[in-house]
Structure 1
Amino acid sequence: MRRDIAAAAMELFATKGYEATTVDEIAAAAGVARRTFFRHFRSKEEAIFPDHDDTLERVKAVLDAAPPHEYPLDTVCRGIREVMRMYAAQPAVSVERYRLTREVPTLREREIASVSRYERLFTRYLLGHFDEGAHQDGDDDPLLAEVAASAVVTAHNHVLRRWLRAGAQGEVEGQLDRAFAVVRARFAGVGLPHGPTGRGGAQAGAAGPPAVLTAGGEGSDVLVALARTDAPLSEVMRTIEKALNRG
């Protein structure tokens, strides 16, 4: 029922305009009573985003079911893929919704509020997986968790917006992989995970991002790479390539 009402709303917004469409018209187009509309949505702008509540629950399930050895940022990246799947399930609707949110300030604010819910969820998750020794004595500021969560959401939204601007054409999984690799590389060496090995220790079996160090003075053609033995080869090669390009 929620999806039927949302589909009717989107069609009316596209043909008649958001401001000119009323709740009564949406209910009539969906074949339901006005009170039925309000059982599912508090306002007409809320009907634009019918799936975020369910998607948030799916994201929570990914975090809750994460294996204990998984690198925390990898878990968060897996979780936010549920959001991309939500948009990809109805590409035409997603493109139209993107157009509307760009044109209607009220809808843009609603979208921003939805994004913040994911960021808060990821921040809470990452707070439980940081190296406690990385904080100064008496400092419980969750800055690192907030920055990491925001970085993952920003990377996801960058890929999502580019895909929507292209009319939801093309694959996005590879683009997400590349965007998330950038985020993981930036957080290498900041003491993100702590786990069974104790405070500040790496989690057993965790495939954290590889660290790459350059050696030699100006003009040197030597690159020294340091990587975990269980780091994915693709991650190692991507990080080395970036280091070479910077040189």
Structure 2
Amino acid sequence: MPGQSRVRHDLTAAAVELFLRKGYDETTVDEIAEAAGVARRTFFRHFRTKEDVVFPDHDDCLKRVEQSLADADPTQPPLAAVAVATHLVLAMYTDDPDASVQRYELTRHVTALRDRELIATSQYQRVFTSYLNRRSGGQPHTRLPDEVAAAAVVAAHNHVLRQWLRDGGKDDVHAELDRALAAVDASLGPWLAGRPSSEPTTDDQVVVVIMRRGTPMWRVVQEVETAAAG
């Protein structure tokens, strides 16, 4: 691990351990720096606030997500490109499962940290929405499906991530995310393509059969089958 990354890692590990042991509000920046074996000024070279040290580097990840979408094949389905970018976000957690599980425990109990996580989530959603809207031509009437799809992708990612964290950071969560995103695509892909998901196909038929009250069920079924065949 490069020197700068190692320092950030050590500061985060020290902070999380102190927050869990002493409490978030009771822990100071000086204590975090001391536990990590660095000076106070070194802490502020890497993090702006005590909140920042808890989270993975969302700013850097957001840049990677934006670059991934900018480099995406324009012939690739939009949701497929977003799925690739979503895995980049998930990898930020899976690269260090133990630290991610500890952070999750903290965010469950510290309101300020939960709020910070929500802000980060909204940033990814805005980037996904912007990309989908560009792919749809930036028309006002496409804004709603683009926003709904971006929100669904983020919701699927967050659901899968939270379950993985509750389970202790085990198993292949990327495979689970693929399954969740496939469900989103099956539901919203047609809408994004400009066709309602409930659009009738040649197999969808409406059959109206008028029968006398009390007609036996076998006869009703027979008449429906005959009408459908015609």
Query: With structure 1 as the length reference, what TM-score do the two structures score?
Result: 0.74
Map of 1:215 onto structure 2: 204
Gaps in structure 2 of 5+ consecutive residues: 1-6, 208-220, 226-230
Alpha-carbon displacement from aligned partner over 1:55-99 (angstroms, at most 9, x marks no partner): 112212211111121001110111010111111111111111011
2:104 maps to amino acid: Y
Q: Which amino acid aligns with 1:106?
A: A
Q: Which residue of 2 aligns with 1:189?
A: 190
- CA 1:93–1:149 in structure 2 vs 1: closer, same or farther (change >3 Å)? same
TM-score by length of 2: 0.79
Q: Which moved more, 1:35-44 or 1:95-104?
A: 35-44
If you compute each CA radius of gyration, which structure gives the higher value, 1 or 2?
Answer: 2
Counterpart mapping for 1:29-48 below 5 A: 29-48=35-54
Which aligned segments of 4 or more residues in structure 1 are displaced greater than 6 angstroms? 218-221
The AA in structure 1 aligned to 2:187 is R
The amino acid of 1:10's aligned partner reads V
SS at match of 2:135: coil
Does 2:99 match 1:98?
no
Over 3 Å counting, the alpha-carbon distance change for 1:39 and 1:134 in structure 2 is closer
CA drift at 1:40: 1.7
Tell me the distance in 1 between the aligned counterparts of 2:139 and 2:23. 54
For residues 182 and 50 of structure 1, do their structure 2 counterparts lie closer, same or farther at Cα, with a shift above 3 Å needed? closer
Residue 144 of structure 2: aligned partner:
143
Q: Aligned to 1:44, what secondary structure does the other structure show?
A: coil
Task: Report whether the alignment pairs 1:168 with 2:169.
Answer: yes
2:145 touches 2:192 (CA, 8 Å); kept in 1?
Answer: no
Distance (Å, rounded) in 2 between the aligned partners of 1:132 and 1:110: 30
Residue 217 of structure 1 and its aligned partner are, at CA, apart by 5.3
Among all aligned residue pairs of Structure 1 and Structure 2, give the percentage whose two residues are the same amino acid: 50
- Partner residue, 1:158: 159
Q: Is the 8 A contact 2:56 2:93 kept in 1?
A: no
Aligned to 2:178: 177
Q: Secondary structure at the match of 2:184?
A: helix
Letter in 2 for 1:186: S
Q: Which residue of 2 aligns with 1:67?
A: 73
Q: Distance in 2 between matches of 1:78 and 1:45?
A: 28
1:36 & 1:168 partners in 2: Cα distance? 30
Q: Give how far 1:191 is off.
A: 4.2
CA distance in 2, matches of 1:13, 1:54: 24
Q: Which runs of 5 or more structure 1 residues have no equivalent in the other structure?
A: 136-140, 193-199, 201-208, 222-247
The answer on whether the counterparts of 1:3 and 1:50 sit within 8 Å (CA) in structure 2 is no
Deviation at 1:189, TM superposition (A): 2.5
Structure 1 residue 131, shift from structure 2 partner: 5.3
Q: Residues 133-165 of structure 1: CA distance to partner in whole angstroms, max 9, x if unpaired?
A: 782xxxxx8322221111111111110001111
Evaluate the alpha carbon distance shift between residue 134 and residue 25 of structure 1 in structure 2; reply closer, same or farther with a 3 A threshold.
closer
Higher helix share: 2
User: What CA distance in whole angstroms lies between the structure 1 residues aligned with 2:116 and 2:159?
Assistant: 18
Query: 1:28 matched to which residue of 2?
Result: 34
What are the superposed Cα offsets for residues 160-217 of structure 1, whole Å, 9 maximum, x if unpaired? 001111111111122112111111112133243xxxxxxx7xxxxxxxx9x8845345
Q: Tell me, what secondary structure is at the counterpart of 2:38? A: coil
> What corresponds to 1:4 in structure 2?
10
